[in-house]
Amino acid sequence: MERFSTSFKGYNKDEVNKFVADCIKQVEGMLESLKSKDAELAQLQRDLEKYKTLEESLHRAIMIAEDTSSQMRRMASDESERIIADAKRNASRIVNEALMQAEKTQNESMTLRRNIITFKRRLKTILENQLEMVDDIDHLDM
């Protein structure tokens, strides 16, 4: 606290005026500082709102990305199950066709063997008949 010197009619006017001027400067400085702080606070509040909006947007984007990811996984799983089912059906069809072809080939092979056996018998019979004829020729000439 400041003390003023006294003069004939009270306190020294110059000292009091100087003190009041200093007080005014300090109050004006504080007011200016408060205005600056208020402006800074307002800017920080605007920035905070902007960041909150951005945070909400990012949160929604993350939720959408998670939903999309879940849907893609589900679709991929469904597609893989469909592909596996198709592959099993195709494998069964291919195996059945192969079995049918093998059976057909086996039947053709058995038919061919029977034909060969029949051919051999006939050829043998023909040859035996021819040999008999040759033997008969020998008997006729003598």
What does the pLDDT look like over 67-79, one tens digit per residue?
A: 999 999 999 999 9
Name residues whose C-beta falls within 8 Å of residue 5's C-beta, 6 or more positions apart in sequence: 11, 12, 15
Q: What is the mean pLDDT of residues 13-23?
A: 86
Give the pLDDT of residue 141.
56
What is the DSSP code string of 60-127? HHHHHHHHHHHHHHHHHHHHHHHHHHHHHHHHHHHHHHHHHHHHHHHHHHHHHHHHHHHHHHHHHHHH
Per the listing, tokens 């959408």 go with 64
For residue 57, pLDDT beyond 90? yes
Tokens coding 31: 């007011």
- In whole angstroms, give the CA distance from residue 20 to residue 27: 10
Buried b (16+ CB within 10 A) or exposed e, 120-139: eeeeeeeeeeeeeeeeeeee
Tell me the pLDDT of the chain averaged across its residues: 91
Q: pTM for the whole thing?
A: 0.47
Specify the higher pLDDT residue, 101 or 6.
101
Read off the pLDDT of residues 33-51 as tens digits, 9 standing for 90 and up. 999 999 999 999 999 999 9
Secondary structure class of 6 (helix, strand, coil): strand
**133 band by pLDDT with thresholds 50, 70 and 90:** confident
- In whole angstroms, give the CA distance from residue 10 to residue 16: 11
Specify the higher pLDDT residue, 2 or 42.
42
- In whole angstroms, give the CA distance from residue 4 to residue 19: 9
Give the pLDDT of residue 66.
96
Percent share of the chain, pLDDT over 90: 75
